[in-house]
Structure 1
Amino acid sequence: MRNSYFQFKQFRVEQDKCAMKVCTDSCVFGAYVAVAGAQRILDIGTGTGLLSLMVAQRSHASIDAVEINKEAQQQAHENFAISPWAKRLQLHPMSLQEFAKQAPPAYDVLLSNPPFFLSSLKSPDAARNTARHTGELLFEDILAFAQQHLTAQGKLYLLLPPAEAAVFASLAKASDLYLAEVLQVFTYHGGKCIRHIQTYTFGHRGAPDVKDFYIREEDKTTYTAQFAELLREYYLAF
């Protein structure tokens, strides 16, 4: 039986109420996002609050988190409250569209592990569908928000499967946001690429810097040195 929580070195993520649990690729994402010097960060679709907590550990920023699902809202609220950074974490229990209407400030970093699988079949679990599909949060909504509320030198980070990442990159160009970096995440050496971590900025016109990241060695069990180094500040195993 899966634990009702995930324990990190400096915080715990309770996840019994949330459809989408802590997963390895999200942890890679949270550890990868560059937040040094950021003053304001927005986590779009925070779920358990995992990404907000991870970036709070590595920054001094004020962090806003938006979440539409009521169970996830309660979970994130609880996780923020028991964390060492509760005073810097603010949950907004609403959709991104509603949040945008409240005249939010400009952000140095926007990050999201948004609903995905644009063309895949819906699962029978309604909560999981909301978390994994684009029914509640469209890529266009994220881009429209970034156009209005990302600072000129700010960065938008997305975690998506490769096919959906390509769709987002195509849409982003129309919003004057350009793909600057791609981290291709592989399950193991010799395995398939499961996710792209994309970094978008205003004004970048060159080809993106593309790098590969492997979670496990070819034995499919041993964590790579690359993974251990990235997650050293978070995982109890390192």
Structure 2
Amino acid sequence: MRGELFEIIQNSKIHKFLRHEPIQDPGKDQDVYLFYIRRIDNQIITKKDLQNLSVDLKKIGKTPVFLEINSDDKSLNDIASNIVRKFFNKYIKSYYLSRSKSIVNVWIVPKKTLFLVEKEEIENRFSGAIEMIGYKPKIQFVAEPYEISEFDVIGMLRKLAPCSFDQLISALSKIDSGVSKKPLSRILDRLRKRKLILRKENKEYALTLTGLKTLGTRKDGKSPDIIRMLELARSAP
């Protein structure tokens, strides 16, 4: 499916107008964000071009969400660039702006799993600056396209831990059939360095208390942590 998606986009008329690889909506597997600019020299992308690509993508079960990047809006781009460079260079991998009337959408691709306090700081910085020049901000965090994220790994460990590397990659393959050992190993190394997970002497992985707090939890019988503990208790000899 991933190969089909990129092949269709590569062969479309609007390919040269795109300014980022497709980004999948973390909450809706079928939605794919496509960032584009309207004009290149004397060439302009048309609604018909967008409609044609939309039809082709829907044939493989994907719904494109087209977002125009306002590359000619220098003030907004300068503000975003300065905010990232001065405050969040270690947190933000890339960002994209999409302006519609009085609303400015800021799409942020983080470099790593962000804690709630880090997200709030980023939102406050961008929102304050955008409001100062008369726009209403809408800040959204998105994941890289079709890649297993740190949150996916932490969430799966919450369900399975303690578990081996092979058990983990087998479970994650149900989320992304293209997941491979090297990228997963890098994610696990990053999470260990940040003390979100630990590797036991028998080489099994488990969450730390900090890792659990990162995900948040519920304090009733539907809490995934309580459910997991009950499952472990039932399976114990």
Higher helix share: 2
User: What is the TM-score normalised by the length of structure 2?
Assistant: 0.29
Q: Which has the higher contact order (CA 8 A, sep 6+)?
A: 1
User: What is the TM-score normalised by the length of structure 1?
Assistant: 0.29
| Structure showing greater Rg | 2
Higher strand share: 1
